[in-house]
Amino acid sequence: MLSHSEASENFIADAERTDWHDETLWFVRAKRDKASKVLPEWEAMREHASQIKDHTLANLGEYLQAFESKAIANGIHVHWAADAAEHNAIVHGIIAAQGSKTIVKSKSMLTEECHLNDYLASKGIEVVDTDLGERIVQFRNEAPSHIVLPAIHLKKEDVGETFHQHLGTPKGNKDPQFLTEAARQHLRGHFLASEVAITGVNFAVAETGEFVVCTNEGNADMGAHLAKVHIACTGIEKIIPKRADLAVFLRLLARSATGQLITTYSSHFHKPREGQEMHIVLLDNGRTRQLADPKYKNSLKCIRCAACFNTCPVYRRSGGHSYHQPVAGPIGSILAPNIDKKANADLPFASTLCGSCSNVCPVKINIHEQLWFWRQDLMEAGLAPAGKTIGMKLMAFTLANPVIYRVGGSLLRRFSHLLNTRLNPWYKQREMPVAPKESFQEWYKKR
């Protein structure tokens, strides 16, 4: 597997595409700014949401049990899975009982985390991803590169070619309207035929035992309402205490994600449809471990809006696939090492620690601080990437020694051009700023 910096190298090889990716995501970030600034209460609402999540995490066990008993009373089957393998086995068991060979699934990062599609394929079950972006990347045998905009790494020419190969659209047609219509027709067939539908969960309400699923396309609903069996898969951290809390979260989610006022559909599944079977799978997979660590527990507040992706200068210019994880970007970089430290040791270093992620996060997760904590933990565990280890030790040493700091600084200003070499991946595709002739201290002394 390529590390983040190696994979980024491939991504930025196409300079024009990198610029497009960068600018497009920045545009989404700008839409988020506009949609949030309309509300004078925005900052108060972020704080409120953060407190609701703090409160929930402090009482997670009780809220999970409250949710469970309400959901059961509503006629929903509740399952618990300690890890990905258990999760996949539960889902497979439900599908196998139906005897289905093809099923539909709407967007769920959790099923990506569990590699559910591959697992079901090995059992002879085909999963049709129904979110347009996810269907595109599925056809191409790729993973989503962004949790809200799964195909943001692709251009319309790529989608046109993919649909030409898989759906028989005319070669060379790259009109988004035309291609979306082709996908609509193709997926409608699957919606009407499928007996089992899998969806993700945005929020699960302890007070009522209902769960809420948000989409713009309507694909989660098309699948769930036509299928005999609906399986909703969720992480245990998606619980919120009360129905009224949804007001805060639904207001924050879409405005943070895409700058929309609200997602087109926010569906509240309270009880199964008459004659329908409804299941919910509650997954741990390392979340309880994260919860037990005061440094990292806040990462469980995430509502998966991807605002931190869109604002991140590293994500925008390296692309989602360079993070080699289903959840990329800044939040992915603090979640992934918890699941596998060694395999994801590069990710906390894929950041400038500029703090922009923490500034936009609707639930006020201290993302950049956690990135820094992970760097320290990984250093201690001897897992940090080699180049970074030397750099970090040098930095700690320099900052602790004022004399070396000053002398080093003056040397650096004279010889900074030497840094811009092949040895330092940071300078790929970057111009080194010209170093000032005198340091701030020198300048200040002269005044």
Partner 1 sequence: MSARDQILRKIEPLEPVNHPGDFKGASIDFDFRASLEVVGARIMTKEELEIVFPGRRRYDKTLDGLSLAEVEVLEIDGEFVVAENGAIWLTEEAMPHRVAPFICQHLVINVKKIVPNMHAAYEELKKPNSSFGLFLAGPSKTADIEQSLVIGAHGARSLTVVIHP
Minimal distance, residue 332 CB to partner 1, in Å:
20
Q: Of partner 1, ligand SF4, none, which one does residue 226 interact with (CB within 5 to 8 Å by kind)?
A: partner 1
Judge whether 5 and 423 are in contact, CB under 8 Å. Answer: no
Between 61 and 402, name the residue whose CB sits nearer to partner 1.
61
By a kind-dependent CB cut-off of 5 to 8 A, residue 438 interacts, out of ligand SF4, partner 1, none, with none
- Closer residue to partner 1 in complex, CB, 275/433: 275
Which of ligand SF4, partner 1, none lies near 367, with the C-beta cut-off 5 to 8 A by kind? ligand SF4
Give the position of tokens 């090889």: 13
Find the shortest distance in angstroms from Cβ 44 to partner 1. Answer: 6
d(Cα 214, Cα 199) in Å, to the nearest integer? 10
Q: Binding partner of residue 279 among partner 1, ligand SF4, none, CB under 5 to 8 Å per kind? A: none
Contacts of 141 (CB under 8 A, 6+ apart): none
Cβ 125 to partner 1, closest distance in Å? 22
Nearer to ligand SF4, 64 or 307 (CB): 307
Q: Name, in order, each residue with C-beta under 8 angstroms of 9's C-beta and a sequence gap of 6 or more.
A: 425, 428
Give the one entry of ligand SF4, partner 1, none that residue 61 binds, where binding means its C-beta sits below a cut-off of 5 to 8 angstroms depending on kind.
Answer: partner 1
d(CA 183, CA 181): 5
Determine the Cα–Cα distance for residues 362 and 329; give it in Å rounded to an integer: 16
Q: CA 392 to CA 269: how far, in whole Å? A: 49
Query: Which of partner 1, ligand SF4, none does residue 405 bind to, with CB < 5 to 8 Å depending on kind?
Result: none
For the bound state, the minimum distance from the C-beta of residue 156 to partner 1, rounded and expressed in Å, comes to 5
* Residues 427, 417: Cα–Cα separation, whole Å: 11
- Closest CB 320 distance from partner 1, rounded Å: 14
**Amino acid symbol at 287:** R
What residues make contact with ligand SF4 under the rule CB under 6 A? 302-308, 331, 360-363, 365, 367
CA distances from 358 to 269, 330, 335, 447 (A): 32, 9, 15, 37
The Cα 243–Cα 219 span in angstroms is 24
Q: How far is the CB of 305 from ligand SF4 (least distance, A)?
A: 4
